[in-house]
Structure formats: structure tokens, C-alpha cells
Chain A
Amino acid sequence: MSENKETPANDPGAKVAQPPAGGPTRYVVARVDEIPEGERLLVDVGGRGIGIFRINGEFHAILQRCPHAGGPLCQGPLLEYVYADRPGEVHHDPDKKFLSCPWHGWLFDLKTGQSWWDPRQTRARRFPVSVEHGDVIAEATDDTQPGPGPYVIERFPVSVEDDYLVVTMRPRGGTRAPTDASI
């Protein structure tokens, strides 16, 4: 694994020199104190848009591209988890936050990259030809808890080294078109 650590000096988030082809590369992307708690920084790393979030003291780095339809995921709001078993009785967990893509509202858990499909899982309900008498259509599951959804965002390891945030990721291949993720 190659090591290519450069100090950003006066230009945080500066593009790092093109790394050698091969395995994962470490990029210094920002100073730790550039991202206050609850905030984020969008950077271009090796030609890809990356969003770095600081939540409850932890850092998360994800690709700035929603797996649903390519939206600018890292520009979406961080929304707390809300839930209700009955209309009108709404509860929340302010410590549990999801990143919501600004295009269609898909929610992502930054810790796992997993999209959060709050309601029970649904599938296209095609009902087979059935000779059963007036069956109830949906097989209701007992699971009323929110569950994982179909999308997973790409996450990258972030480490704090001295005063700097270091993201480890593979450089983009030369044949790929440049990302249009805005920063």
C-alpha cells in the first residue's frame, strides 16, 4: 500500500497529486477542527466528491453520489429518527440521525452506509393464481421495526492523525468519466 501524505497547508481539501495506480491510498482531506460537531465538509478526493461528517464525535466519509439515482447525497439534511405506532403519537431519537438525499429523500445510516427503509419491507405484490377462498392479500409480518433498505452507500475509512483527517480510498480508474458531484 502506498503512502502519500501531504499537508494541505493553506489549502484544505486541495487535490492531492495523482497517486500511483494500485491499492487504497490515504488522503489528507482536512484539519480536524475544520469540521465542527454536527457539520460536514465536501471535498474532492482523487477526482471524486466525498462528504465527511462529524456526528457524535465520529467521522464518516461517504461518496457524494446517491446510489438511488445519483443525487448529491452529501448536500442533504441530517434528519433525526422519528417513529410512531399510532397517528398523533410521534417519538424521536435525536441521537440517531440519517442523511437524507436532497433529490428523493432516501435515508442513509452513516455508520453502516445502509439505506433506512422505515416502513416494513415491501415488494411488488404480484399475486399468483390462487384457488384459495378470498385470502387476505398481504402476509403481514410481525416486524414493525424499521429495517434496512435496498441501497448501500460507499463509505471510506476516516482516521484522525494528529490534527488531520485522513480518508483511505482507492483512486478512480483512468477510464471513468469525471464525477459531476458539485462541491
Chain B
Amino acid sequence: MVLGEKHRQEIWTGSVVDCDVHAVVPQISALFPYMDDVWVTWTTEREYPGPGHVATIYPPALTTTARDEWRPDDGRPPASELRLLRDHVLDPWDVDRAVVNCYYGIDNVRHPDLAAALARGVNNWLIAEWLEADPRLVGSMVVPARDPAAMIREIERVGSHPSIRQVLFPVRNDRLWGDRIYHSVYEAMVKHDLVMGLHWGGTTDGPPSPTGYASWFAEEYAAEWGNFGAHITSIVSEGVFRLYPDLRVSVLEGGFTWVPVWGWRFNKEWKALHREAPWMDRAPFDVIRERMRFSVAPADQGPPEAMERVLEWLGTEDILMFATDYPHGHNTDIGALLDVMPESMRPKVMSETAREWYRL
């Protein structure tokens, strides 16, 4: 059974690539074998629990954060072990390949050396216990997002590992990702042929929206898509793709239904004001269609007729990629989404686009 109710073959009989599944660090001691001794001592001396406590990612009392069937019965954190991923997603979906993302919140660590040490630990752990342990898996590396030089050092260290295909960028950040201080990071990524994975979450002391802090969880959740829009606007406007025309950007867990309508707006502003940023030499929405891909978890689905129109407005069959976002409980009805697509688009969404994007 997949997604609680259906068998995989009822939804899709072709090849599947899941472009967003999570590996959750169960507790910080899981990273100790993969961290430098000095930082293990630092952690144990202070009884530091780590930045991304699982209670804050998939709080047990908040059932919408993880699907019920994906919470282990024995109370272990969801998605904290490869075997869970296999049992819950890889095998039932008969996945060809999956891209594993570990969001551990190291980007909110302000201690620059600890952040870098934790990044190394997470990347080493992910490679050893997940990516190298199952040939179906590739993954994203994490980086200490406050320090561009440290980001580059980590990219140079593990960026060319054969299983590493993407760098995870949190969508909550102190600055917009198009900012020039990050341009040399993109240069390093392109050198290692890595995708930029713009992902939900990030520094917990950063606002979830471009205009500030929410008062309630529901508001926070609903507001987060705004950060995705802000970062994409920044990346395109700052000329990142002029400098690095081969850079690929994935938008993960950011939705996609908002893209066309805002894309029209972006095009319009650019038509009138492009003299301000004369390196913007192409319609921004065209750049987005070419250089970016969006996962369908969540899909933020409206009624089928409306979804059909949205897909038409997106204007390309190549822009969406299937994801479960395991263990998150988005309740995306992937079958309903496939139904409103042209037939030719379905295999692209379910595997072909991600295969090309991540060189699988």
C-alpha cells in the first residue's frame, strides 16, 4: 500500500523517481561516528541536543506533520533509519531512485565552527548509512548556510561524491539567495554539477515569510511559500543564471500552483524595469521554466478543472517532479494530479524529469 489507501499500481504503473524523501537524525549521538572528536566532546560536555530536534520537525501531537502509517510504532522518530524508508516508500512504490534530503536545521546554528562540524557530520552520516547502503539512493548535502566560505569548503569536500547530487538550501534564510555574496557558492556547485535544492524550512530564528513572523502555526505554514517566491525572484533578478547558465534549481516542498500567476507578474515588471538590471536578458518566467523544477509534494490541489488550467499556465510538461516528501503528511492525491495532466506529461512527472535533472 502506498499513501495509506491505494496500491502503487492503481496510481501509476510506470517508473518512479521520488525526488524528496527525508532522512531524520534520530539523536545527535547518531552523528558521533561521523564527527571530529573535538566536536563530539564539545557536544557531550554541554549535553547539546542538536539544532533540529525531531520534536520540532514532526511533533508527535501534531498528526498532520507525518503520515500515521509512517510513524514507527515503537516511538522512534519518523524516517530515522534506512529500513523505515525502504519499508514505507522505496519498496511499496517500487522506486527506481530517490533523492534523500536531511533537514537537520544546522543552518540555524550561529556558532560558525559548530555549524560546519555538524554539516560534515550530517553529510558523512547520510552517505555512510543511507546513500552507500542502498543503490537506489542519491542525496543532498547540507551546508552551514550563514557562511559562504564554509559552504564552499564543504562542497569541495563532498560535492563530488558519486551519491551527492544536490545542495540543500533552507528557504528561511537571513538573506535572499540571489545575493552576490553567494555567487561563488554557485560557482562551486556548478563545478561539481550539483543542483540547488531550495527546501522548506531553515533557520528557526528566521522568519517564515518575506515580511516577518507569524503568530500561529497555521499562519506560518501558509506563509512559507512566500519565501520560495522571494528567493526565486532574487536568484533570477540577481543574474545568477547569466553567470551560471547551467545551474539547476529544485523547489522542494514549496508547491507550484502559485508559479504561473506570479510568473506573469514577474514578466510584467521586468518588461518595464529591466533597464535597472540589464543582465536580465530573458523573460523571467521563461528562465524559471528552463532552470527550475518543482516537486509535487505538496501539490496544493484545487478542483480538477482548476488544476488543469494551472498546468496549462505552467506552459511546460517538464517542470514538475514526483515526490512523497516522506514522512511528511501532505496528503497530496497524486492520482488525481496525474489524471488532469496530458498523458505525455505523466511519465515525465513520475520519473523522467527527475532522472535527467539529477543525472540518474
Instruction: Give A contacts to B, CB under 8 Å.
Output: 79, 82-88, 90, 104-105, 118-120, 122, 124-127, 129-131, 133-138, 140, 144
Assess A122 versus B283: contact at CB under 8 Å? Given A87-B242, A134-B318, A137-B290.
yes
CB pairs A–B below 8 angstroms (16 shown)? A83-B278, A85-B242, A86-B243, A86-B279, A118-B275, A119-B280, A119-B282, A122-B283, A125-B315, A127-B318, A129-B317, A129-B342, A134-B348, A134-B356, A137-B290, A138-B290
Could you tell me if B274 and A87 are in contact, using CB atoms closer than 8 angstroms?
no
Residues in chain A near residue B275, CB distance under 8 A? 79, 82, 105, 118
> Given A86, A105, A122, A129, which contacts B272 in the complex, CB threshold below 8 Å?
A105
Residues in chain A near residue B243, CB distance under 8 A? 86-87
Could you tell me if A131 and B282 are in contact, using CB atoms closer than 8 angstroms?
no
Residues in chain B near residue A85, CB distance under 8 A? 242, 279
Instruction: Give Cα distance in the complex from A79 to B273, angstroms.
Output: 12
Residues in chain A near residue B318, CB distance under 8 A? 127, 134-135, 137
Of all chain B residues, which has the CB nearest A143? B281
Does residue B32 face the partner (Cβ distance < 8 Å to A)? no
Could you tell me if A134 and B278 are in contact, using CB atoms closer than 8 angstroms?
no
Instruction: Give Cα distance in the complex from A33 to B48, angstroms.
Output: 81
Within the complex, what minimum Cβ distance (angstroms) separates A45 from chain B? 29
Known: A84-B279, A85-B279, A87-B238. 5 other contacts (CB 8 A): A105-B272, A119-B282, A120-B281, A126-B315, A138-B290
> Given B274, B280, B315, which contacts A127 in the complex, CB threshold below 8 Å?
B315
Does residue B174 face the partner (Cβ distance < 8 Å to A)? no
Instruction: Give Cα distance in the complex from A83 to B281, angstroms.
Output: 9
Residues in chain A near residue B286, CB distance under 8 A? 122, 125, 137-138
Of A79, A83, A124, A125, most buried by chain B (CB within 10 Å of CB) is A125
Assess A119 versus B180: contact at CB under 8 Å? Given A134-B353, A134-B356.
no
Does residue B352 face the partner (Cβ distance < 8 Å to A)? yes
- Categorize the interface residue count of chain B: 35 or more
Within the complex, what minimum Cβ distance (angstroms) separates A49 from chain B? 23
Could you tell me if B278 and A82 are in contact, using CB atoms closer than 8 angstroms?
yes
Residues in chain A near residue B283, CB distance under 8 A? 119, 122
Within the complex, what minimum Cβ distance (angstroms) separates A140 from chain B? 8
Within the complex, what minimum Cβ distance (angstroms) separates A82 from chain B? 5
- Which positions 267-301 of chain B face chain A at CB distance < 8 Å? 271-275, 277-283, 286, 289-290
Within the complex, what minimum Cβ distance (angstroms) separates A132 from chain B? 10
Instruction: Give Cα distance in the complex from A84 to B276, angstroms.
Output: 10
Residues in chain A near residue B63, CB distance under 8 A? none
Assess A127 versus B317: contact at CB under 8 Å? Given A120-B281, A122-B286, A134-B357.
yes
Of A87, A118, A135, A138, most buried by chain B (CB within 10 Å of CB) is A87
Residues in chain A near residue B271, CB distance under 8 A? 104-105
Could you tell me if B352 and A134 are in contact, using CB atoms closer than 8 angstroms?
yes
Of all chain A residues, which has the CB nearest B312? A126
Could you tell me if A133 and B356 are in contact, using CB atoms closer than 8 angstroms?
yes
Could you tell me if B317 and A87 are in contact, using CB atoms closer than 8 angstroms?
no
Residues in chain B near residue A105, CB distance under 8 A? 271-273, 275
Instruction: Give Cα distance in the complex from A107 to B243, angstroms.
Output: 26
Does residue B211 face the partner (Cβ distance < 8 Å to A)? no
Does residue B355 face the partner (Cβ distance < 8 Å to A)? yes
Of all chain B residues, which has the CB nearest A129? B344
Residues in chain A near residue B180, CB distance under 8 A? 87-88
Does residue B316 face the partner (Cβ distance < 8 Å to A)? yes
Does residue B239 face the partner (Cβ distance < 8 Å to A)? yes
Instruction: Give Cα distance in the complex from A105 to B268, angstroms.
Output: 11
Could you tell me if B278 and A118 are in contact, using CB atoms closer than 8 angstroms?
yes
Of all chain A residues, which has the CB nearest B276? A82
Within the complex, what minimum Cβ distance (angstroms) separates B170 from chain A? 23
> Given B245, B278, B290, B344, which contacts A131 in the complex, CB threshold below 8 Å?
B344
Q: Indicate with 1 or 0, residue by residue over B147-184, a CB within 8 angstroms of chain A CB atoms.
A: 00000000000000000000000000000000010010
Residues in chain A near residue B356, CB distance under 8 A? 133-134
Of all chain B residues, which has the CB nearest A138? B290
Instruction: Give Cα distance in the complex from A77 to B284, angstroms.
Output: 25
Assess A133 versus B281: contact at CB under 8 Å? Given A85-B242, A126-B315.
no
Residues in chain A near residue B289, CB distance under 8 A? 125, 137-138
Q: Indicate with 1 or 0, residue by residue over B86-110, a CB within 8 angstroms of chain A CB atoms.
A: 0000000000000000000000000
Instruction: Give Cα distance in the complex from A135 to B353, angstroms.
Output: 9
